[in-house]
Structure 1
Amino acid sequence: MNIKFKAFILLFVLGAMLAPSCKKGFEEINTDPNTIAAALPEALLTPALWDVVTRNNNRALRINNELMQDHVTTTDNDEIHRFVIRPAESDYMWNNWYLQLTNFKDMYSKSSELNNKTYMAIALICDVYVSSLLTDTFGDVPYSDANKGKDGIYQPKFDTQQSIYLDLFRKLEEANTLLASGNALTLEQIAYDPIYGRNLPTGTTAAVGSPIVINSWRKLGNSMYLRLLMRASGRPEANAIAKMQEIVSNTATYPIFTSNTESAVIRYTATPPYTSAFYGGRLIDFNGDNGLTEFFINTLNSWNDPRRAKWATIDGGTYIGIASGYVRGSVPERRSTYVGDLMNEPLLGNIINYPELQFILAEAALKGYITGDAKAYYENGVINAITFWGFTPPADQLNNQDIKWNAAEDLNIKMEKIHLQKYYTLFFTDFQQWFEYRRTGHPNLPKGDGLQNGKQMPSRLVYPVYVQSLNSNYSAAVSVFGADDLNTKVWWNK
């Protein structure tokens, strides 16, 4: 390796490692007059997790929501809705996810030095969250050697997705064990928590708030565990089905979400520091040339779903969408668009929520992975997916013919019902709609005549171009993983 080349890599890695994790508005909460706030685990948590979720929102709008027909662009040369994703799209999330992984790993190291089990566990859960996004988006990625620039590893090897998933499971096991006997939190530490600390009633004491926050994180970790176990459930070597059964049948050891209030959401505000990805922008920039699709709108219309008022504008006295995957040169006139208030919507900071968990359990029960009533889980998900957004479901919601659970219907129809509901539950939740579609083929998205890529939904994003050029382990990685293109399936999808 020549000196200039090595110097470039070193500068790049150091830039990622040393880039400040604090964002505008976080300076005050990261300032401690008695010590260096950035060294405290709780001070690393807030800006790093906020940054991940906020940037995920940005790319949910840019990539996921167009691929998955939440909306479609009316700009003819933007072809994500036609299943054309340019390599340059990969850089944004790859760079950010690895940057924040450095913060979460530093958070774990510092917590370990302080022998703080609670923050060790929270750091592990955040690590799993971001690492799962990386591998579910790209497949095999640098993992065991990643974020080690300070150790002189500038070209990390790629790990297989199977080995990554098994280690993610290990980390979630460790997090659950650590939180079972976690360190009590002070009021100051509770105030730093961007998810659960902010939602406690004013005046909550540390003695009351600490166990609530710790148990909430434990439920978050185990609910995320079930998300990833379900994703790997088609691979026998993952032993995912047996673990799902163990968790669901032993919630004293593995507590999971039991209500909407326990959902993991960074609730955005209209004032800094907890602002959304779209805060301060113009409505025209948020909506761009996007119109909501026929698939997205027509399904909500058939359900008489009250969430339409929060998500979609009215056009000509009704909610109306346009076709996705249209033929080049046949640009439709857009109709309903995203409501402007979504730009500052608190619930867009969703990480994983209670209704999603109910649909995971409904699928698991339907397939016989766990004991339980698939219908009960499904119906609980349907109702809570609406109340999560602050609406009261229509009185006949569960008897709507497009929603009603029919025991006589075959597995495929029931899977479609579960995942159609789950699709809306995952609204603006990073790339989860896309991940689940790749895993299951549900919901049944219409395929327009203008689709490219053989009308095949992309199975991943390609590696960033600079990774191909600068990491000498790239060639070895693709020789194991497969061709670096949009259609190579990841491990859990093979």
Structure 2
Amino acid sequence: MLKKSLFLVIALLGLVRCTDNFEEINTNPNDPVNVDAAYLMSSVIVNTAYNLTDENVSGVMGIPSRYITRVIHNGDDTYRWDAESWGFAFNNLINNEDLLRQARAEGDIHLEAIGLIMKGYLFGILTDTFGDVPFENAFGAPEENYTSAYSRQEDIYNTILEYFDRANTLLQEDGRLSLYAAFDPMFEGNVLKWRKLANSLHLRYLLRISQKNEEAFDTIQMILNNNDRYPLILSNDDNAFLPYLGVRNTDSSPLGSYDGDFYDRRPSKVFVDFLLERNDPRLPVWVRPVANPDAGTVDNNEYVGLPLAVFGATNYNGTTNHLNYESSNYSEFSSVFHDDSNSLFNAVIFPACETYFILAELVEVHKLNYGGTSAGELYLEGIHTSMSQYRVEAEAEATDYYTQPLVAYDGTLEQILAQKWVSMLFVGGSETWFDHRRTGYPVFPFGDLSIRDEIPFRMPYPADEASYNAENYEQAIENQGWSDDSNYEKMWLLK
């Protein structure tokens, strides 16, 4: 972890130096690296990881995952969502498209593979969040970018699945990725780790599309049968993440000192209660206890979560001043998140625990085979991997965490998805929202102020689309059979 943190510092400093000596470095016959392409790769990786985690912690996208309850700005908690920007993805996709153009022009197949992985990942999040989006013609001339037609979600999904497969194939061939190690802040030019990310993302999206196309299970089984050709992320050593440096606001925790209203975001009641009910050793890692439990008027537990969308949230549980720790009778997130940089909180694109929970669902529900491993074993390995990620595996073993009734495997999808939800805390892109939307699990309670007892299905399109791309925007709504751009309209994937 320390090595990765130090490496990222060096990589970012290297980017600055490269701009000062571009001609000298770019023409060095002993190091034939295209610094411009290397810079683009670094920029896409860093900004994607940080931006998506920030969206999942501080933005509206984090609300449906139900880890956080807002104290003051609870309009989002009631699901009264306004139009949402998609700049968090498209800004990075523009640089990524330049990376792909340069890689293909120079025949650099490894850089092309990384560009395909990042393009598939970002467009996957975009279409999962909004529905149909500009895709096929999204990167034309600058004057055309504002009036791009929307591609169908089905077509986008089929194409990004091809991206992941193509990337894995390209990375099996001889290439130059090792030359770019100093510009790769996530995997340091490790080809095998990039292949594992490509295949793990492939698995994630195949499972998601399987409810619309059962042939996806044939591809999934092929992947599971060929570990050498399709290696997966199965160890925390292979997690796709970036550490926070804590140097400036752009590379610090989204709940750190640069965040002026972190007191507004508190651990939710459903999240804290889930951990309390299971005596989960991750609870004290993630959540700070209240200063005086006896002062609580409705909840005297050491850890108290804030209910979603309730009247008088600032005064919940007898709180007199939610901005003051001593006067607040509901919990804050721990220093792991409030530190600008902490080795236990990183900007995660894909964690190993997710792979195990996906495999458990595939074996239990869809009756696929993963080397004869049972769904229960895969489920437990997912929890083990999460415990290890947060360095509490010994505490979990000592307290018999795995054998208690609420944790011991019961063979249900609900249990798999519940543990997957809590284990994937703040994974970028609201993956647990997409899982809930797909399966209905975990089952969440709703607040008195919620406009519906149902989590929204999507984000409304950015407001600029209705103004500057009106014809294509309106056509997209019509093509999807919607009456309007509501967050409760169902995209193709959910119909």
Band of TM-score, shorter chain:
0.7 to 0.9
Question: 1:190 maps to which residue?
Answer: 181
Question: 2:205 maps to which residue?
Answer: 228
**Aligned partner (choices 92, 95, 105) of residue 100 of structure 1:** 92
How far is the alpha carbon of 1:341 from its aligned partner? 3.4
Question: 1:484 maps to which residue?
Answer: 485
**Aligned partner (choices 452, 464, 467) of residue 465 of structure 2:** 467
**Aligned partner (choices 205, 215, 225) of residue 192 of structure 2:** 215
Question: Would the alpha carbon gap of residues 23 and 140 (structure 1) be closer, same or farther in structure 2, given more than 3 Å must change?
Answer: farther
Aligned 8 A contact 1:362 1:375 in 2: yes
1:88-487 pair list within 5 angstroms: 90-91=84-85, 94-150=86-142, 152=144, 154-187=146-179, 189-197=180-188, 213-236=190-213, 239-271=215-247, 275-278=251-254, 281-282=257-258, 285=260, 287-315=262-290, 316=292, 318-327=302-311, 332=316, 333=319, 335-343=330-338, 344-346=341-343, 347-372=345-370, 373-392=374-393, 393-395=395-397, 396-407=400-411, 414-430=412-428, 431-452=430-451, 454-471=452-469, 472-481=471-480, 482=482, 483-487=484-488
Question: Would the alpha carbon gap of residues 215 and 151 (structure 1) be closer, same or farther in structure 2, given more than 3 Å must change?
Answer: farther
1:196-237 Cα offsets, whole Å, 9 max, x none, are 11xxxxxxxxxxxx5xx001100000000011111111002x
Q: Which structure 1 segments of 5+ residues have no match?
A: 1-21, 198-209, 408-413
Cα distance in 2 for residues equivalent to 1:466 and 1:225: 32
Cα distance in 1 for residues equivalent to 2:410 and 2:95: 48
Aligned 8 A contact 2:363 2:375 in 1: yes
1:443-478 Cα offsets, whole Å, 9 max, x none, are 1111222211x2221110111111111112112111
Aligned 8 A contact 1:140 1:158 in 2: yes
Question: Would the alpha carbon gap of residues 377 and 263 (structure 1) be closer, same or farther in structure 2, given more than 3 Å must change?
Answer: same
How far is the alpha carbon of 1:487 from its aligned partner? 0.7
> Secondary structure in 1 aligned to 2:346?
helix
* Aligned amino acid, residue 144 of structure 1: E
Asked if residue 57 in structure 1 is aligned to residue 53 in structure 2, the reply is yes
How far is the alpha carbon of 1:129 from its aligned partner? 0.9
* Aligned amino acid, residue 219 of structure 1: K
1:90-116 Cα offsets, whole Å, 9 max, x none, are 12xx12311110111111111112211
Cα distance in 1 for residues equivalent to 2:384 and 2:18: 37
Cα distance in 1 for residues equivalent to 2:249 and 2:459: 31
Cα distance in 2 for residues equivalent to 1:191 and 1:399: 45
Cα distance in 1 for residues equivalent to 2:255 and 2:433: 25
Asked if residue 27 in structure 1 is aligned to residue 16 in structure 2, the reply is yes
* Aligned amino acid, residue 115 of structure 1: G
Cα distance in 2 for residues equivalent to 1:461 and 1:145: 22
Asked if residue 47 in structure 1 is aligned to residue 47 in structure 2, the reply is no
Aligned 8 A contact 2:256 2:337 in 1: no
How far is the alpha carbon of 1:191 from its aligned partner? 1.5
* Aligned amino acid, residue 377 of structure 2: A
Cα distance in 1 for residues equivalent to 2:109 and 2:249: 27
Aligned-residue RMSD, C-alpha: 2.5
How far is the alpha carbon of 1:299 from its aligned partner? 1.0
| TM-score, normalization by structure 1 | 0.84
Aligned 8 A contact 1:460 1:488 in 2: yes
Aligned 8 A contact 2:241 2:348 in 1: yes
Aligned 8 A contact 2:111 2:177 in 1: no
Cα distance in 2 for residues equivalent to 1:168 and 1:378: 27
Aligned residues: 444
Cα distance in 2 for residues equivalent to 1:227 and 1:288: 33
Cα distance in 1 for residues equivalent to 2:111 and 2:349: 19
Aligned 8 A contact 1:116 1:182 in 2: no
Cα distance in 1 for residues equivalent to 2:357 and 2:178: 35
Question: 2:30 maps to which residue?
Answer: none
> Secondary structure in 2 aligned to 1:266?
strand
Question: 1:13 maps to which residue?
Answer: none
Cα distance in 1 for residues equivalent to 2:144 and 2:383: 50
Cα distance in 2 for residues equivalent to 1:245 and 1:54: 33
| TM-score, normalization by structure 2 | 0.84
How far is the alpha carbon of 1:279 from its aligned partner? 8.1
How far is the alpha carbon of 1:80 from its aligned partner? 1.4
